[in-house]
Each structure stands twice: as C-alpha cells, then as structure tokens.
Amino acid sequence: MKPSANLLALAIVASLGLTACQKKSEEMMPAASSNAMAADSTAADKPADAMPATPTSAKYTVVFTPRWTKANFPFEYPDTSFIHKPHFSGWIGTAHNDAYRIFAEGTMPTPGLERLSEMGKHDPLDAEINAAIAAGNGLALSESDPLKDFSQTVSFEVSVDDKHPTAGLVAMIAPSPDWFAGVDVNLMESGGFVASKSVDVMAWDSGGDDGSTYFADDIDTDPKKPTMPNRAPHFLKDGKAMPVGTLTFTRM
C-alpha cells in the first residue's frame, strides 16, 4: 500500500474512534444527570432531624439557707432558753398536681400539718402525703434532716414531672406555737423544667394553736382556724413580712 493510502486509512480509523467516544459520552450523561436528580430528590424527601423531646420529669437538689437570725428578727428572738434553741425541723413534702396541697392560704390545716407545725413531727403528715401519692395527686415523698446550726445549710432532693410540676414543702419554725416555713413552687416554665430557681421562704401560721409568742403555752384552737401567712410582729420589719430563709432548686 502506498504511503498516502496508509495515512488516509489511519485518519478514517481515528475519526471513527473519536465519534464512538463522543457517542458513548453523550449516552452516559443523561444517566449521570438522572442519578444526580434522584439523589437530590431523596435528600429533599428525607425529614429533618427531629427536635429533642422536652423532658417529662426532673430531679432537683434543694438547698435551704436560713435567714431567721436575731440580727434579722430581733423581736423576742428565742435564744434565751438553754433547751429550746432556734431551729427548723426537717423539711417534708412532695411534688403535686392541682388536686392536692399540703397547705394553702385560707384552708383548714390537716392533722399532719398541725402536728408538724406544733411539734416538728413528720407523722402523720408523711402518711397524708403517701395517700396523695397513691391517689395519683403526689409524686414522691421528700424529707430532710433538721437544721440547728444556722451557719450551715441543709439539702435534700425533690422529683417532679409534667403531671406534678409543683413542689410543696414545709418545716416547723421552732420553738413556736404552730408556726412553720413553707413554699409551693412551680418548677415548670415555658413548657420545660427550670435549670435552677431560688425562692423566699415565708413564715405561716397553721391555725392549730392560739399561742402568740415563741414560748406560748399550748392553747389548742377549737375550732381550727384557716392557715394564713404569719403576720405576728416576730416576722415583720417596718410592717412587711420578711423571709425566714431561701430554698434553691438546682436540676440534677
């Protein structure tokens, strides 16, 4: 074969090969595009990651810091007795719903609250709380040790859930006729449980005794009177009721 013929043959072969490659490339492009579109469609159809569910329960460490001192409450402050030194009984309470409260302004004291406020005893209040728990109106019994050294604090735990978001807690102010410290605090705000919360603890009169001083003789009230905020001069400053302590709730 002549050289010119060889060159012509090679050019034809090269042209055919290039045409084949272009055709193959064109055939592959729609498939690749289709795959990309399918991938995009899959990504669009995939639901976004769900937001974490709001916790339906929580447990708190509760710290009680006393403020009932002679410097803050000088009127007849009960530090003259060698036996009955100022102290708080152990705290007791539970988280509850609206169907149950350990105490409330204007309501009659239960036998358990009356004994707690007069003697600092947890029974039969603990039985009343356990009955509320059994009925579904309380969550779990919480208790603490007494506090006698006011340079210290006392701590305990309280559990709450979305059906029992409010912590009701009481402790006797001792010595006293029937005075107690109490709070009823909702720990759920804006649909979730707070990380921490501090509340003033006020003095209350259970309504079970007519005594009007720290060391008053036992004068049982008959009939009982409603539980009310304590307006005795022992807890007032310039006519305003002063907190006897602070309770700080910190979510665990």
pLDDT, tens digit, for every residue of 172-203?
A: 999 999 999 999 999 999 999 999 999 999 99
More confident residue, 249 or 53: 249
- DSSP string covering 76-125, please? T-S---SSS--EEPPPEEEEE-TT--S--TTSPPPHHHHHHHHH---TTH
The answer on pLDDT for 9 being more than 80 is no
Q: pLDDT of 67-124, one tens digit each?
A: 999 999 999 999 988 888 999 999 999 999 999 999 999 999 999 999 999 999 999 9
Question: How confident is the model at residue 53, as a pLDDT?
Answer: 67
Q: What are phi and psi of 127, to 5 degrees?
A: -70, -40
Q: What are phi and psi of 235, to 5 degrees?
A: -115, 15
Query: What mean pLDDT comes out for the span 40-57?
Result: 58
Question: How confident is the model at residue 49, as a pLDDT?
Answer: 54
State CA 225 to chain mean position distance: 32
Query: What mean pLDDT comes out for the span 2-14?
Result: 44
* Superfamily of structural domain 57-251: F-spondin domain (2.60.40.2130)
Across the chain, mean pLDDT equals 86
Report d(CA 170, CA 116) in Å as an integer: 8
Question: How confident is the model at residue 46, as a pLDDT?
Answer: 45
In the chain, where does DSSP find H-type helix? 3-45, 111-119, 125-134
Share of residues in the chain with pLDDT > 90 (%): 73
131 CB-near residues (< 8 Å, 6+ apart) = none
Q: Judge whether 65 and 248 are in contact, CB under 8 Å.
A: yes
